[in-house]
Chain A
């Protein structure tokens, strides 16, 4: 099992990079995908030397029309058949619907939804696939709690959630383990490090470091968990969400919305 290969998208930064380290630390060979000029060759070199595993890289834009297909074609050429796929690449936003451009939403949907669907399909239909396959899709707790300023991002993650759960039903007993990762806030990109910095109390405490999220996610995937919610506080929030009556939740969200509106229109 330890000679298996894991494919990770969005691997140059943040959670994707943590997945790469976590899997390399467990002895898996890697296929890393990220945009060009994001430091992927340096990352690959570092992992090869320090973890003694094979690392193949694809510097490509997953929203380009043929990129998903060509990745798997090229992998087959190299006789690499990944047994693990981590659909991690994603584009977030925290802005009013009118504030982002048409092309931004197109890219966001292409990356978060289309590339995940295509890569999952290509992964499952590999001609010489390993007997046991592991597929991890990165959703978001935001896919469960509906909040303003995350309209398209949240909706793409709801898609991932439905897609993943439905696949779980289809693929039950087929030797394919499909898991959904639903993380809350993570300290990843520099902008987020700055933004998260201003949070206080529970919001600040619930934000996790990417290495912890990656560790819990891979543990959960191999244990066969259907949904992985990293962090005790986040699990508590999901639990509260299940037991609180809808009316109370609506009240909380309305109150929160009022605060957000006040912040943006002082």
Chain B
């Protein structure tokens, strides 16, 4: 890879964007990191990273930050469970993506990697989902719906000749800050502090866990080897809640008694939380559409990324061990 390339990254304070900036900087690129607040505590610090105050909803800030760049990574998104103004999901995830693509055209960017999510597929049935599989249910979760609409937007631009590669990470965990949008970090950190005490339902439901370093490398590989308009699932191992907390107990050395809470109980609680948020505007701890998801598996296959991009998966036990150590030391 040629060094000293200027590369634009949106979402530099986000879980993926932050690590991606650091890796690009380490490889000798000059990173143009877009952030709404250049004093944000989670921003990555490196001599090759230049911060540009901006917002994907403010078009003019994008062109300025992209000036002189050849590549764009668009990782910025509203990935929270809940937002006071529901329209924010559409604005940030769809309109914001359109702004980034428009700016990329103006700045003659050669190639863009767009960070989508496995949430565009959502729940799975028997076997892990791959890229050509259909979505089974509707889109009750705002984040998933707007990320899906953003993918449609991206494909429209690809048809008109823009070079965009889509990557779809699954549930990302790893050595990063404990943020609102990152549920795995919240579970691990809560468990270590003795505050996380529940396993949803039987604990047998499976989700796919992607290690942050793998996902970051997957982004770089997609930039290098990806095909325009194609999607690549960047996942990891399919793990049940029971396996997850089993591994967490074993690797951290903290054995805590966890309680299985039946999904209907969680659902009832989430309904109360939804009502609470509707009445008070306070963020809910949980919402019914997420409670429903606890009944379904979310298994994804990274085979396409492995064969076409050279994507590699860190074993879950090793990734989790590093995550635990990171959270303990920070």
**A residues bordering B, Cβ < 8 Å?**
17-18, 21, 39, 42-43, 46, 49-51, 187, 190, 193-194, 197, 208-212
Number of interface residues of B (CB under 8 A): 18
Q: How far is the CA of A224 from the CA of B138 in the complex (A)?
A: 26
A209 near B149 with CB under 8 A, answer: no
With A193-B145, A193-B149, A194-B149 as given contacts, are A187 and B138 in contact (CB-CB < 8 Å)? Answer: yes
Contact A211 B137 (CB under 8 A): yes
| Least distance between A260 CB and chain B CB atoms (Å) | 21
**Smallest Cβ-Cβ distance to B151: which chain A residue:** A190
C-alpha spacing A187/B125, complex, angstroms:
21
- What's the Cα separation between A22 and B87 when bound, in Å? 31
Q: Can you report 7 residue pairs joining A to B where beta carbons are below 8 Å apart?
A: A21-B137, A49-B126, A193-B139, A193-B145, A197-B90, A210-B137, A211-B138
Residue from A17, A50, A190, A193 within 8 A of B125 (CB atoms): A50
Q: Do B139 and A51 touch across chains, with their CB atoms under 8 A apart?
A: no
B residues with CB within 8 A of A: 87, 90, 124-127, 132-134, 136-140, 145, 148-149, 152
Q: How far is the CB of B51 from chain A (nearest CB, A)?
A: 33
Q: Which of A42, A193, A211 contacts B136 (CB 8 A)?
A: A211
**Contacting B134 at CB < 8 Å: which of A17, A51, A194?**
A17
CB of A226 to closest CB in B, whole Å: 26
Q: Tell me which residues across on chain B come within 8 A of A187, comparing CB atoms.
A: 138-139, 145
Q: Which residue of B lies closest to A39 (CB)?
A: B134
Which of A17, A18, A51, A193: most chain B CB closer than 10 A? A193
Given contacts A50-B125, A209-B139, contact A190 B133 (CB under 8 A): no
Which residues in A have their C-beta under 8 angstroms from that of B138?
18, 187, 208-212
Q: Which residue of A17, A18, A39, A49 contacts B127 across the interface (Cβ within 8 Å)?
A: A49
B125 and A51 contact, CB distance less than 8 A: yes
A39 to B132, CA, bound (A): 9
Chain A residue nearest to B152 (CB atoms) is: A190
A115 CA to B124 CA, complexed, in Å: 33
